[in-house]
Amino acid sequence: MAATLYQSQQAVTLQTRSAAYSLIGIMLDHLDHLNLNLLKIELVAGNFVQVTLSNPLPVEHIDHLKLTGPI
Query: 9 Cβ partners below 8 Å, 6+ apart?
Result: 66, 67, 68
Name the domain count of the chain.
1
* Interval 38-68: pLDDT, tens: 999 999 999 999 999 999 999 999 999 999 9
Q: What is the pTM of this model?
A: 0.91
Question: What is the structure's pLDDT at 55?
Answer: 96
Whichever domain contains 37, its CATH number is 3.30.70.260
Question: Cβ(28)–Cβ(38) under 8 Å?
Answer: yes
Nearest to 66 by CA among 32, 26, 34, 35: 26
| Cα angle, residue 4 at apex, residues 13 and 1 outer, rounded to 5° | 145
Q: How confident is the model at residue 1 (pLDDT cuts 50, 70, 90)?
A: low
Mean predicted confidence (pLDDT) in 9-26:
95
Structural domain harbouring 11: 4-68
Mean predicted confidence (pLDDT) in 19-42:
96
